[in-house]
Structure 1
Amino acid sequence: MMDTLNSKNILNFLNKWGVILAVILIILFFTFSLPDLFLTSSNIINILRSISIVTIIAVGLTISLSVNGFDLSVGSAATVSSSLIISFFVWYNMPFGIALPLAILLTLIIAGINAFLIVKVKIPDLFATLSTMFIFEGVAMTYTGGGSISVGMPKLDGSPTTGKLPELFLKLGQTPWIIIIMLISVFLVHLFLNHSKHGRYMYMIGGNQEAARLSGIPVKKYRALAYVLSTFFAALGGIVLASYVGSSQINAGSGYLMPAVAAAFIGSSFAGHGKPNAIGTFVGAVLVGVLENGLVMMSVPYYSLNIVKGTVLALALASTYYSQKKF
């Protein structure tokens, strides 16, 4: 009997704090393996900078997961917003105060289409956002002519451009601003989900949609809102990415989808929440970022990194769902 209780307590502890323990163990491993390189202030800042865009996109994805949805279109939304804002500066000489909100507003069209397909047409979230992922990847490539956009490059019709990237815009992708934007995003989503009635409604919808409806919660409204907010943070991530790179690249946001998914799912088990949460998502992003940074410093080939990240995600999911089944 005591052995059973002890094993349950151990499993429960690991389920709550396994992600934190994993981060600590990985940091200790790389610190001893790379004594003068890994645990330095410059490398810590480098890790935080490297996970900033992933985390911004991932906290938006976390909101869609809170209503038991799944937004696969966040990578395409990031690509669209990065393409739009660079083109506004380079092609149309727009000021920063107009280009930024306009790029976000136009990217939110993706959220409107997602909400229509999911809430009105009742297509399952996964399939609806998979469709819009491909559609808006194509839209972004068509808009840019299948190429990148950077300062000095001519328009698609061959006419010259004179637009420049504003200094204020370029600061968004620089340290410390890129890290500050990430931390503010995490903080705001944490407050929204955990300390507002709207976040609590979303968690109720994610837990039992029919019970939430019978309780008087406007389920359709909040499911649509979840996709609007998910797309908003994806658009913000795409704009920060464009600032960081200084140009618009082909399918630039697609590479952030899987890391964002990994961070959100790994973070679901943080502190025993058993549900998507912003702080856990940030910790999940740190776990993936620390692991990737350390492996790169140990000269592990870049093409092998996905094996490790996929394994970490599988272990995190196994821990979460196995514990939920047992307890």
Structure 2
Amino acid sequence: MLLALAALVIVFSVAQPAFLNVDNLFSILQGVSITALLGIGVTLTLAVGGFDLSVGSVAATAQMAASYVLIVWHGSTVEALAACLALGALAGLFNALLITRLRVPDQLSTLGTLFLLAGLQLIPTGGRSLATGTILPDGTEASGVFPDAFLALGRLRVFDIVPLPVIVLLLLTVLGVIVMETTRWGRVLYAIGGNETAARLAGAPTRGYRAAAYVAAGAIAALGGVLIAARVGRGDVSAGHSLLLDAVAASLVGYAVGGLKRPNVLGTVIGAVFVGVLLNGLTMLNAPYYMQDFIKGTLLVAALALTFSVGKRDEGHA
């Protein structure tokens, strides 16, 4: 995957020199930052042998909730951020209770949460996007505004170069790599994903760790939703849901990075960057939009097939 990413950069740079423009590179990173954040959440649940399909809906609901707090309730940036993180954590806890207490399979429980939140976010506004001046179902007008401090979360460029969402992604990536690869907490998560029964017999509180993974995934997805709202400057009923497939793709592509063949945070971020670089390069080369998904899928399949086939052959020689 790293070689494939390097090859893409070289090809696009030769075909279109403007590709290596600093502003364009940071634009790519800003574009993939939300997908990568959601992918990190999915990665945490994959590590414990689960699979969170609700991250897109959590992000979508969070960006509508942030808009509602600001536009309807006239709340502050801190209140909107706190409300969204709490919402994400509660969504993750709800998933965890379904999985660990009611024994509902991960995919089914998170799929149910996906539809639950997708419908819930539409109710307060009657299915409308939310911005200053929106007429609510009770006939009142939303008169609040998005504070500059809130909009800065999605639009600020540090030193007029680096978008703030990229810095947020960098910090969470570093934290995620440290926790998952160097701490006991991370090792227990991987142990649960490898063999939950063995981990439980070894004394690990497997239910608690699984719950923590889903709560963290929900909170991270909600943070992604906040960044979406801050970037677009309104609560968009169509935002967030389309991110699920790209987030899942990034987390699964992460298996192939570094030959780890397991969910890992750094691999997920690299997978998201791979997709972002590919789509940006195709756009700059004026590739037809209806061909982009096909080309993306072809390159992803080829890169993954090569990675895993080479790894399997090396294991056979060993």
TM-score tier by shorter-chain length is over 0.9
1:166 pairs with 121, 136, 147, which one? 147
What is the match of residue 109 of structure 1? Answer: 90
Shift of 1:40: 1.0
CA contact (8 A) 1:274 1:320 kept: no
**Correspondences of 1:22-101 after superposition (within 5 Å):** 22-35=4-17, 37-101=18-82
Correspondence 1:234 to 2:221: yes
Amino acid aligned to 1:50: G
CA contact (8 A) 1:79 1:238 kept: yes
Shift of 1:312: 3.5
CA contact (8 A) 1:266 1:316 kept: no
SS at match of 1:159: coil
Shift of 1:160: 2.0
Higher mean displacement: 152-161 or 112-121: 152-161
The structure-2 alpha-carbon separation of the partners of 1:93 and 1:180, relative to structure 1 and needing over 3 Å to count, comes to same
What is the match of residue 208 of structure 1? Answer: 195
What do the CA deviations read for 1:192-232 (whole angstroms, capped 9, x no partner)?
Answer: 21122111100111111111111111111111111101111
Shift of 1:296: 0.8
Shift of 1:317: 4.5
Rounded Cα–Cα distance in structure 1 between residues aligned with 2:243 and 2:87: 20
**Correspondences of 1:162-201 after superposition (within 5 Å):** 162-174=143-155, 175=157, 176-201=163-188
SS at match of 1:220: helix
What do the CA deviations read for 1:130-181 (whole angstroms, capped 9, x no partner)?
Answer: 1111111111122331110012223222212321111111011123211111
Amino acid aligned to 1:263: A
Unaligned runs of 5+ in 2: 158-162
Rounded Cα–Cα distance in structure 1 between residues aligned with 2:306 and 2:210: 28
Shift of 1:251: 3.5
Correspondence 1:153 to 2:144: no
Across the aligned residues of Structure 1 and Structure 2, the Cα RMSD in angstroms comes to 1.6
TM-score by length of 2: 0.92
Rounded Cα–Cα distance in structure 2 between residues aligned with 1:40 and 1:317: 28
Q: Provide runs of 4+ in structure 1 moved above 4 Å.
A: 319-326
What is the match of residue 297 of structure 1? Answer: 284
What do the CA deviations read for 1:256-286 (whole angstroms, capped 9, x no partner)?
Answer: 1111111111112211221111111111111
The structure-2 alpha-carbon separation of the partners of 1:179 and 1:304, relative to structure 1 and needing over 3 Å to count, comes to same
Rounded Cα–Cα distance in structure 2 between residues aligned with 1:234 and 1:314: 26
CA contact (8 A) 2:88 2:215 kept: no
Amino acid aligned to 1:55: A
Rounded Cα–Cα distance in structure 2 between residues aligned with 1:100 and 1:33: 42
The structure-2 alpha-carbon separation of the partners of 1:120 and 1:314, relative to structure 1 and needing over 3 Å to count, comes to farther
Higher mean displacement: 221-230 or 158-167: 158-167
Correspondence 1:144 to 2:125: yes
SS at match of 2:145: coil
SS at match of 2:122: helix
TM-score by length of 1: 0.90
Shift of 1:112: 1.9
What is the match of residue 118 of structure 1? Answer: 99
Amino acid aligned to 2:11: F
Unaligned runs of 5+ in 1: 1-18
CA contact (8 A) 2:131 2:142 kept: no
> What is the count of residue pairs matched by the alignment?
308
Higher mean displacement: 169-178 or 86-95: 169-178
The structure-2 alpha-carbon separation of the partners of 1:132 and 1:316, relative to structure 1 and needing over 3 Å to count, comes to farther
What is the match of residue 160 of structure 2? Answer: none
Amino acid aligned to 1:151: T
Higher mean displacement: 260-269 or 107-116: 107-116
CA contact (8 A) 1:78 1:234 kept: yes
Rounded Cα–Cα distance in structure 2 between residues aligned with 1:71 and 1:197: 23
Rounded Cα–Cα distance in structure 2 between residues aligned with 1:72 and 1:282: 18
Identity of matched residues, %:
38
